[in-house]
Amino acid sequence: MEKRERFLMSFAGKLFQATLMTTAMIGFAYAAPTLDSNKNYVKLKNFKPNPKIENKQCLSCHKAQDPGLVKDWAHSKHAKAGVGCVQCHVVPKDYPNAFKTHPLKGTNWTVQAAVSSVTCAKCHAKEVKEFMNSGHSRGGAQWLKENENPHGKAMTKLAYGYEGMRGGAGIDKEFTLNKDNPKANLTVANICVQCHGTIIKLNSQGKPLPTTWPSDGIASLYPDGGVGNCVSCHSRHKFSAEEARQPASCSNCHLGPDHPDKEVFESSVHGHIFDTNEKDYKFDTGKQIPGKTLRAATCFTCHMSSINDLKATHNVSERLKWNLWAPNSFERTGNAETAGWAWWSQKKVLRGNPKAGNLQGPDEARSEMKQTCSSCHDAAFISNYFKRVDADVNLYNQYRNLSVKMYKELKAKGLIKKDVWSDPYFKLMYYAWHHEGRRMRQGAAMGSPDYAHWHGVFQVMQDIREMKDIYNYRMRMLKKLKDPKKVLEQEPPMPVVTHE
């Protein structure tokens, strides 16, 4: 089987018993994306608000109403350059995001409360295009049930997957998932959404609904086709590049047991140097001059910055050779991300392209990443380092393949429980990929000994041993009892070790 198919099979087929092949085919056949493919963007780009609507008017009410917000704006480069409330918020009354009943009387213009990247693209087309080409732009699209494919549905199930779903045992009915239960929907707005983004929905007056807004999720999907929250890294209303260059601007999402990039960075030598010498780092400039503006790399240096003749980019996938979040790592050969662009063009949301990376392919991605290192390290150091990274990724894939092989054999014999989340084999397989396996790969790639080893490969190895024990036990008992149901019923509880 081809690598890509294997990934898709193991991801959805094994984990959620859903087939993905049709989606995959649509996902990968998506045409080359452009900004002008969004009609609302074209409309907004040429839209000139009534000159009678002035920033002063906005301030006349909002300065008292939202003083903090107005101060942030006043201290921004936007304010200095003459970009005011009007340039970002005023839209025609028939605009999809329009807040129709806003108290701005006597004009055909109104304001939008939910401001998407369609508005930013009027003036920052380069950044928006790069963002749209990156894996970030799929953040909201890939897990929602509105994404008409089995992947989205399976992910939504996971999102809503607390015990209350199963008949409400132990949880009040009003929190049980059901479209008529607004409280349950509100709780969902506090999970995946906060990091990934969601579909922003408005009421009939154009006011955003509390189930979907506010959210600083990286790739919220707006009614005007806009994708992405530029405010995830450039908090409103300062919209500062300086703030976004700090590792902290990534760390509020990139942490925790399943993608501990914050912790990985902090425990690497680069993180140690940053912690010790933070005051010497200059984040008010994009220039990365070793010894002058920084001493060692931060997230932004390696993934986005203009360093050593590289161009700065908002495409965080551009310097990635591997896909390290996937159940089975593969090289990123598939060019631009597609899910965000599909929404931008007001098409159905698609699964997206997990192979999205450097537009010139994985070798170019690797060589750009090496170029970031080579402003501080020597060629042999870098080359040896990445040989070890690749070896770790390949070792992980072998563990993964073994766990899937045993899973398939158990499944074929009816030896996997129907509710997979109470099956210890399945849970171990999940953790070995989703938590420990990611830690092993990301720890190795970003120089954290503890995450590469003790939180990583060591635990993957323990999982595999436990999986083998369960496999052997079930196969042995099947010979004895003949009936797979009985084997599962009589199995003693097998505690799954904590995977923090």
Task: Determine the size of the site formed for ligand HEC (CB under 6 A).
Answer: 126
Query: Which position's Cβ is nearest ligand HEC?
Result: 135
- Tell me which residue of 493, 379, 500 sits closest to 435, measured CA to CA: 500
All residues at 6 or more sequence positions from 391 whose CB lies less than 8 Å from its CB, including other chains: none
Q: Is 102 in the site for ligand HEC (CB under 6 A)?
A: yes
Q: Using an 8 Å Cβ cutoff, are 275 and 263 in contact? A: no
Written as six digits, the tokens of 256 are 């925790």
Interaction with ligand HEC in 471-500: which residues (CB under 6 A)?
none
Quick one: which of 224, 261, 436, 466 contacts ligand HEC (CB under 6 A)?
A: 261
Interaction with ligand HEC in 303-332: which residues (CB under 6 A)?
303-306, 312, 314, 316-317, 320-325
Q: Is 135 in the site for ligand HEC (CB under 6 A)?
A: yes
Q: Is 286 in the site for ligand HEC (CB under 6 A)?
A: yes
Quick one: which of 91, 195, 452, 460 contacts ligand HEC (CB under 6 A)?
A: 195
Written as six digits, the tokens of 483 are 């009936």
Nearest distance from residue 483's CB to ligand HEC, in Å? 35
Quick one: which of 24, 35, 230, 410 contacts ligand HEC (CB under 6 A)?
A: 230
Written as six digits, the tokens of 302 are 């390696």
Quick one: which of 6, 14, 78, 439 contacts ligand HEC (CB under 6 A)?
A: 78
Q: Is 377 in the site for ligand HEC (CB under 6 A)?
A: yes
Instruction: For residue 427, give Cα distances in angstroms to 66, 149, 401, 420, 423.
Output: 48, 24, 16, 8, 6
Interaction with ligand HEC in 136-175: which residues (CB under 6 A)?
136, 138-139, 142-143, 155, 158-159
The 265-284 site mask, x for binding ligand HEC (CB under 6 A), equals x---xx--x-----------
Q: Is 84 in the site for ligand HEC (CB under 6 A)?
A: yes
Interaction with ligand HEC in 420-439: which residues (CB under 6 A)?
438
Q: Is 90 in the site for ligand HEC (CB under 6 A)?
A: yes
Q: Using an 8 Å Cβ cutoff, are 369 and 302 in contact? A: yes
Between CA 252 and CA 133 the distance in angstroms is 22
| Other beta carbons within 10 Å of 439 | 28
Of 199 and 369, which CB lies nearer to ligand HEC in the complex structure?
369
Q: Which amino acid is at 293?
A: T
Q: Is 188 in the site for ligand HEC (CB under 6 A)?
A: no
Output b/e per residue, 153-165; b: 16+ Cβ within 10 A: bbbbeebbeeebb
Of 139 and 406, which CB lies nearer to ligand HEC in the complex structure?
139
* 104, burial (CB in 10 Å: exposed 0-12, middle 13-18, buried 19+): middle
Nearest distance from residue 252's CB to ligand HEC, in Å? 6
Nearest distance from residue 353's CB to ligand HEC, in Å? 9
Of 182 and 256, which CB lies nearer to ligand HEC in the complex structure?
256
Q: Using an 8 Å Cβ cutoff, are 258 and 97 in contact? A: no
Piece of 28-36, 123-131, 418-426, 479-487 that binds ligand HEC (CB under 6 A): 123-131
Quick one: which of 17, 50, 60, 401 contacts ligand HEC (CB under 6 A)?
A: 60
Nearest distance from residue 30's CB to ligand HEC, in Å? 15
Of 269 and 481, which CB lies nearer to ligand HEC in the complex structure?
269
Torsion of CA 457, 459, 463, 464, to 10 degrees: 30
All residues at 6 or more sequence positions from 182 whose CB lies less than 8 Å from its CB, including other chains: 211
Between CA 17 and CA 393 the distance in angstroms is 26
All residues at 6 or more sequence positions from 405 whose CB lies less than 8 Å from its CB, including other chains: none
| Other beta carbons within 10 Å of 87 | 15
Quick one: which of 31, 42, 186, 191 contacts ligand HEC (CB under 6 A)?
A: 191
Piece of 24-32, 88-96, 340-348, 460-468 that binds ligand HEC (CB under 6 A): 88-96
- Return the half-sphere exposure (C-beta side, CA atoms, 13 A cut-off) of residue 79: 15
Q: Using an 8 Å Cβ cutoff, are 439 and 453 in contact? A: no
Quick one: which of 22, 252, 277, 401 contacts ligand HEC (CB under 6 A)?
A: 252
Of 90 and 487, which CB lies nearer to ligand HEC in the complex structure?
90
Nearest distance from residue 496's CB to ligand HEC, in Å? 19
Q: Is 391 in the site for ligand HEC (CB under 6 A)?
A: no
- Tell me which residue of 88, 94, 44 sits closest to 62, measured CA to CA: 88
Return the CA Rg of the chain. 25
